Amino acid sequence: MRTKATESNPKSAKSRPKSTQERVRTFLELFRGSESVLILINPDPDAMASALAVKRLLWKHVGKTSIAYIREIQRLENQAMMELLKIPMVEINKVASGDFIRRILVDAQPDHSEIFGEFTYDAIIDHHPRTQGWNAPYVDIRPKYGATATILTGYLRAAKIKPSINLATALLYAIKTDTANFERDATEEDVKQFRYVFHYANINLLRKIEKSELRVSDLQYFQTALEKRIITKKAIYAHLGKVTSTDICVQIADYFMRVYGIGWSFVSGVYRDTLIVIIRNDGYRKDAGKLATRAFGSFGAAGGHRGAARAEIPLNLLLQKGIEPHDSVLEGFVRKRLNL
């Protein structure tokens, strides 16, 4: 049975333990041996690896642990990660959530998705900036960290659990991708935990995952982006029109950041009646998350980190504001909001 997330003042949450050992002890004390636990994620590498780490932590502490993801897994790398590393996951609509006594949310917060917001949680572990209007008995949010996988690797070490090859490879890939190879939002702790799991990971499996990036059909979007690119002072923007996956926008935005002298890249597209805007920058004296919130927060979901952010705006909300869902109009809207 789904229930709305509890609203309360974040400051009223129980004080957080100071050491990682105390954090792990407090976390595990929430659960009992016969209980069933559901871990919810938005399926990207960091979320999948973090959920797998939580599942390992709870082994022998609970009766059953399942991982449920809320969105279709579109990116080929993510599909390859799930298959090659044998991550046991199931779509949320195939889960009888009422069968689970406990719920955990990793690498996200309740207001990051309408689906997430339909549940209450016993624990939330994340590295995104703390949002308002929810609470949980156990909360560990560290926005300075580059990946939630960094936090969970620390948990495993504190619990004296040696990660399996698949778990170590998942954690390694998660830290690597979420920090963009330590070029974005990375800390010394990310490097420390990366070095630790590196010793247990399978690098050949990692390479197989990383090489699973594009379909032949995806190349058309790169052609569109190059043909429609708009270059301003140290920025590139392209509107792709309708896309078959939001992640193609991400891939092109990351690709644009490889251009010499470019400090910002912006890519927009329409996916399933939603305008997607992806923002990337070099992370130097800039904050993509704040820009996304300022430019698009009043229209839909928007936010992110210093170096990477996105906005998702339903087309019907734009139509209500008199903005027609035509490519030229949407492109003009995005450029106006970003002052391009």
Residue 14 clears pLDDT 60, i.e. is over it? no
80 and 154 in a single domain? The answer is: yes
Amino acid identity, residue 87?
I
Query: Which range, of 6-20, 240-254, 260-274, averages the lowest pLDDT?
Result: 6-20
47-60 pLDDT, tens digit per residue, is 999 999 999 999 99
Distance CA 240, CA 248 (A): 9
Where helices occur in the chain by DSSP H, the ranges are: 20-28, 45-58, 76-84, 148-158, 165-178, 188-198, 203-210, 219-228, 247-256, 288-296, 315-320, 327-338
Q: By the 8 A CB rule, do 40 and 103 touch?
A: yes
Residue 242 clears pLDDT 60, i.e. is over it? yes
pTM assigned to the model:
0.70
Where helices occur in 31-127 by DSSP H, the ranges are: 45-58, 76-84
Residue 294 clears pLDDT 80, i.e. is over it? yes
Residue 259 clears pLDDT 60, i.e. is over it? yes
Domain's final residue, options 177, 210, 243 = 210
Domain's final residue, options 210, 229, 249 = 210
Q: By the 8 A CB rule, do 130 and 143 touch?
A: yes
Q: By the 8 A CB rule, do 150 and 126 touch?
A: no
Q: By the 8 A CB rule, do 106 and 11 touch?
A: no
For 164, the domain range is: 10-210
227 and 166 in a single domain? The answer is: no
Q: By the 8 A CB rule, do 253 and 292 touch?
A: no
Distance CA 108, CA 92 (A): 15
Amino acid identity, residue 51?
A
Task: Confirm whether 5 is domain-assigned.
Answer: no
181-204 pLDDT, tens digit per residue, is 887 778 999 999 999 999 999 999
Task: Confirm whether 4 is domain-assigned.
Answer: no
36 and 175 in a single domain? The answer is: yes
196 and 222 in a single domain? The answer is: no
Name 106's bridge partners: 125
72-127 pLDDT, tens digit per residue, is 888 888 999 999 999 999 999 998 878 899 999 999 999 888 899 999 999 999 99
Domain's final residue, options 178, 210, 242 = 210
What is the pLDDT at residue 285? Answer: 67
69 and 89 in a single domain? The answer is: yes
Residue 18 clears pLDDT 90, i.e. is over it? no
Task: Confirm whether 322 is domain-assigned.
Answer: yes
In the chain, the number of structural domains is 2
Which of 1-5, 8-12, 221-225, 303-307 holds the top average pLDDT?
A: 221-225
143 and 267 in a single domain? The answer is: no
At residue 67, the 3 state secondary structure works out as: strand
CATH of the domain at 328: 3.10.310.30
Residue 249 clears pLDDT 90, i.e. is over it? yes
Task: Confirm whether 292 is domain-assigned.
Answer: yes
Residue 278 clears pLDDT 60, i.e. is over it? yes
CATH of the domain at 38: 3.90.1640.10
